[in-house]
Amino acid sequence: MKRKWIKNGIIGGLLLLALGSSISIKKLDQVRANASEDAFDAVAYAEDFWEEELIPDLEDAVEVNYLTHLLRNRPADAFEQHSEALGIGNIRFFMIQGAGEIRQVGEDDLTVLVETDSSSQVVKIETEYIFGNAVRDASGKVDLTKFEQTMDFNNVSAAINQLVRKKVLPPLKANAEVGKRVTFVGAVEMNREQVDLSEIALIPVHVSFMEGKDQTAYADR
C-alpha cells in the first residue's frame, strides 16, 4: 500500500513539472505593451513622414502660375509632369507653391492673389476644413503597397491632416491680415476632366509671412 502511494506521488509530481514547463505566465501589462508595439502607429508614421520626407522636399513643389499656364495651354503635360495619384482615374493631386498678398480673410479660408510679371492667380488657402487625402497623395511619397491594411493607409492621411491643424493653421490664422504677403506650399486636388482655375483651393503645408519683398517675419517651421 505504501509503495503504491509513493509511486502515485512520483507520477503526479512529474505531470505537474511537465505542465509547468509548457505554460508561460506574463503580467497583463506586459501583454498589452507587446500588443501595442505590434500595432501600426499612424500618428508616429505621419510625424516621421512630415519631418523626414514632406517638409525637406517642399521646394520641389510646382509654382502655381507656371502650373496654371500649363493647364491652360498643355493640360496633358501639366498632369503628366506635376500631378500624383494612387490610380488611373481623373482625380489627381498637385503640390504647389507661390507668394502673394492676402486679399480676404474668410471664416474658412484666406484669399491670396499670386501675381507674376505675366500672370496672376487667385488661391484659396483652407484654414478650417482639413480633410481628404490631398497632402498624403500630392507628396507622392506614401506607397499604398507598403501597408498591410488599407485602414492603416487611411489613418496616415487623417494623422497628416491633424498635423496641418496643429502645426500650420494656428499661426496662420493668428497672423493673417488683409494686405500681408505670404509664401505658401500646399496640396491641391483637381479633376482632370473638370479643371476650374477661377480659384484654386489648397491645404497648406507651409506658410510664411513676409515683410517687404524678401524678409520673412514668421515661419511655421
Position with higher pLDDT, 128 vs 15: 128
Residue 14, pLDDT score? 53
The whole-angstrom separation of Cα 112 and Cα 198 is 13
Residue 136, pLDDT score? 96
Instruction: Average the pLDDT over each of 37-41, 161-165, 178-182 and give the range with the smallest value.
Output: 37-41
In tens, the pLDDT along 108-147 reads 999 999 998 778 899 999 999 999 999 999 999 998 988 9
181 within 8 A of 208, measured Cβ to Cβ: no
Residue 5, pLDDT score? 54
Residue 86, pLDDT score? 85
DSSP structure string for the chain: -HHHHHHHHHHHHHHHHHHHHT-----HHHHHHHHHHHS--HHHHHHHHIIIIIGGGGGGSEEHHHHHHHHHH-HHHHHHHHEE-SSSSSEEEEEEEEEEEEEEE-SSEEEEEEE-SS-EEEEEEESS---SSHHHHHHT---GGG-S-HHHHHHHHHHHHHHIIIIIHHHHHHH--TT-EEEEEEEEEEETTS---S-EEEEEEEEEEEETTTEEEEE--
Residue 23, pLDDT score? 47
In tens, the pLDDT along 169-204 reads 999 999 999 999 999 999 999 999 999 998 899 999
In tens, the pLDDT along 47-83 reads 999 999 999 999 999 999 999 999 999 999 999 999 9
Would you say the pTM of this structure is higher than 0.75? Answer: yes
Residue 207, pLDDT score? 97
Position with higher pLDDT, 17 vs 143: 143
Residue type, 165: R
Angle at 189 between CA 188 and CA 194, to 5 degrees: 125
